[in-house]
Amino acid sequence: MTPQSIFPALGQLGGLIAMIFAVAMILLHIFLAVCITDDMSRLKDKGHPIIVLTPLLWAFTVFLLGLVAVAFYWLCHYSRFTRKDT
């Protein structure tokens, strides 16, 4: 599948749009993984447990799945369902 086939009506411009979108998604996933890793170190410093995965696996999962993994991370570490001190 070529980038031009994603937006066939736009021709070459469609390929450029698809490439820009792909690069933006990769950068967003890298940014989210770094933010999750930073947040985990702050949680560890405060004495809160890291739930379900290790920090490296959380970062890798967020890099692969993006916002879906961030939502699951939030659910595990910040929601009222899992926090006992709220």
Q: Is residue 20 in a domain?
A: yes
Q: Which residue has the higher pLDDT, 26 or 4?
A: 26
Q: Is residue 82 in a domain?
A: no
Q: Is residue 85 in a domain?
A: no
Reported as a single tens digit per residue, the pLDDT across 3-23 is 556 556 666 777 788 889 999
Q: Is residue 31 in a domain?
A: yes
Is residue 47 helix, strand or coil? coil
Q: Is residue 83 in a domain?
A: no
Q: Is residue 52 in a domain?
A: yes
Query: Whole-model pTM?
Result: 0.74
Q: Which residue has the higher pLDDT, 38 or 82?
A: 38
Exposed (0-12), middle (13-18) or buried (19+): which is 86, by Cβ within 10 Å?
Answer: exposed
86 pLDDT above the threshold of 50? no
Reported as a single tens digit per residue, the pLDDT across 35-77 is 999 999 998 898 888 888 888 999 999 999 999 999 999 988 8
What is the span of the domain harbouring residue 51? 3-77
Q: Is residue 86 in a domain?
A: no
Q: How many domains does the chain have?
A: 1
